[in-house]
Chain A
């Protein structure tokens, strides 16, 4: 079975630009979560979606937004990029109440 997939793998953007990151969950998983991992730190929770509804939001500015599609895939959007947004963005999928399975991540560099 395919695991969680994320695209793109790497991305370089300039300050002020917008970025869209994509995630496809494991087949049958209806929940998708997004995490930001800055170098040298543990992942920080950004969003969780379940059945296309937002179920949780972390302490991130409104420049961060996300959505989930009918096929349970998800997009994370970040507007007006800052240097501090440079990080590994991890997507995780799970059936309700079970452990989260992570994708390989998207490494975003903002210059």
Chain B
């Protein structure tokens, strides 16, 4: 069974500094995808970044980058130049390969609350 672990319940960062949010995962499937979502207090899940298990390079999307270490089964999110609007809950999620019995199902971690201080 797939499992996602986020060990940091809360993180604090100063505005304009970088912050790393940790995520480890467990799966026996050789093909999988890793996602990070941002959830503001409004509740909507906002897609940030995606990393495929066979991707050779770490994914980047603007100020977001994913530090993918396959052997260690970790997929940490790095946010550079933090902004006040980055304060939110962040979820790491994993999707098993399409075509399985749960086609495209996402398994989420418990989340990390990020607070950006001015």
Q: B residues touching A (Cβ–Cβ < 8 Å)? A: 4, 33, 35, 37, 42-47, 50, 91, 93, 98, 101-111
Contact = CB atoms under 8 A, between A and B. Distances in A.
A44 B4 CA distance: 12
A56 interface: yes
Contacts of B91: 42-43
B103 A50 contact: yes
Taking residues whose C-beta sits less than 8 angstroms from the other chain, chain A's interface range is 20 to 34
Interface of A: 31, 33, 35, 41-45, 48, 50, 55-58, 88, 90, 92, 94, 96-97, 99-105, 107
Contacts of A92: 45, 106
A44 to B, nearest CB: 8
A5 to B, nearest CB: 11
A42 to B, nearest CB: 3
A68 to B, nearest CB: 13
State the 10 A-B residue pairs at the shortest beta-carbon distance, nearest first: A42-B108, A56-B102, A102-B45, A55-B103, A105-B43, A104-B44, A97-B98, A45-B105, A56-B105, A43-B108
